[in-house]
Amino acid sequence: MEQSTFIQQASTEKNKVTKSAALQEPRFIRYTLTFIALAFLAFFIVLPLASIFITAFQKGVDVYLAAITHPDALAAIKLTLMVVAIAVPLNAIFGVMAAWTLTKFNFKGKNLLLTIVDLPFAVSPVIAGLVFILLFGSQGLFGDWLFANDIKIVFALPGIVLATIFVTLPFVARELIPLMQAQGTSEEEASISLGGSGFKTFWYVTLPNIKWGLFYGLILCNARAIGEFGAVSVVSGHIRGMTNTMPLHIEILYNEYQFSAAFAVASLMSVMAIFTLILKDIIAWKSKSS
């Protein structure tokens, strides 16, 4: 044991020596590349992020607070949270089911199903909204029936939820499929052969194995669901205080030249985004250590 660690140490030492000789770029190139990378990130990531918070507070804290406590803003926040609370759990359950189907069994058409699960990623958000207008809009397939029964889907909460579900559908499944593929089926088989029920096997054997992947997918799904703009914009109808989500509220404020207010609401969303990044980092670290 001790010997092997010693050898390991020696070999890493050796690696370090050879690395400085022929395996690394000249110092000038290293510095230039690092400079290019950092400058690019500064202009494209750091500056935009900083500008959101600076512009938000440009006209003082009072204007900021007024913007985020405005009834329309509060209504937008409430609507966004409601949409997320419906869409994300549904897609999480679907993601687990789809990953279970696609990784634990072999069947004909498996690749086709995999492609269909991925399909929403290849579709423009605007088209994701359009399809629900074609289904449930006044000229749509179910338009007359919905009108006769006085059910509102498009330009109301159900439409926004449907569009959000469509756009964020693959996130959890995409995260779980490679993970469960790598884990194989032997542990579940052991549990079943020892008399565990299907549900118990999932709960006590599969779920602990995939929990970090599931969290990771949930966080990505959640971030996209909160911020979805194009698809929701098509189906919402932009009714202020009623069907405006946070991103749509930002758009309206911005188009009315209320820049401070627009950036104030945007800063709230940026805090959520930063929080997402931190959670992602923690989960990546946790899953590596476990």
Partner 1 sequence: MSSLTLTKKSRRIIPGFHLSLGYTMLYVSLLVLLPLSMIFIHTMSLSWTAFVDIITDPRAVASYKVSFSTALIAGLLNVLFGTIIAWVLVRYQFPFKRIIDGLVDLPFALPTAVAGIALTSLYAPNGWIGQFFDFKIAFTPLGIIIALTFIGLPFVVRTVQPVLQNISAEVEEASASLGANRLQTFRKVILPELLPAILTGFSLAFARALGEYGSVVFIAGNMPMKTEITPLIIMTKLEQYDYAGATAIAVVMLVTSFILLFTINIIQWLANRRFVH
Q: Which residues contact 268 (CB under 8 A, 6 or more apart)?
A: 68, 77, 246
Residue list 73-92, contact with partner 1 (CB under 8 A): none
Which residue type sits at 63? V
Q: Give me the least distance between CB of 77 and partner 1, in Å please.
A: 13
How long, in residues, is the chain? 290
**Residue 257 binds partner 1 (CB under 8 A):** no
Read off the tokens for 110.
């498996």
Using CB under 8 A as the binding rule, whether residue 239 contacts partner 1 is answered as no
Of 61-69, 147-155, 174-182, 270-278, which segment contacts partner 1 by CB under 8 A? 270-278
Task: Give the shortest CB-110-to-partner 1 separation in angstroms.
Answer: 10
C-alpha span between 210 and 215 (Å, rounded): 9
Interactions with partner 1, residue window 94-133 (CB under 8 A): 94, 97-98, 100-102, 104-107, 113, 116-117, 119-127, 130-133
Site string for partner 1, 199-218 (x = CB under 8 A): --xx----------------
Question: Positive or negative, the Cα torsion across 33, 39, 40, 41?
Answer: positive
Nearer to partner 1, 24 or 69 (CB): 24
The residue among 1 and 120 lying less far from partner 1, judged by its C-beta, is 120
Please tell me whether residue 262 binds partner 1 under the rule CB under 8 A: yes
Using DSSP's 3-state secondary structure scheme, residue 74 falls into helix
What's the burial of 69, exposed, middle or buried (CB within 10 Å: 0-12/13-18/19+)?
A: exposed
Burial tier of 150 (Cβ tally within 10 Å: 0-12, 13-18, 19+): exposed
**Beta carbon of residue 278, minimum distance to partner 1 (angstroms, whole number):** 7
Closer by beta carbon to partner 1, 239 or else 277 = 277
Q: Is 266 in the site for partner 1 (CB under 8 A)?
A: yes
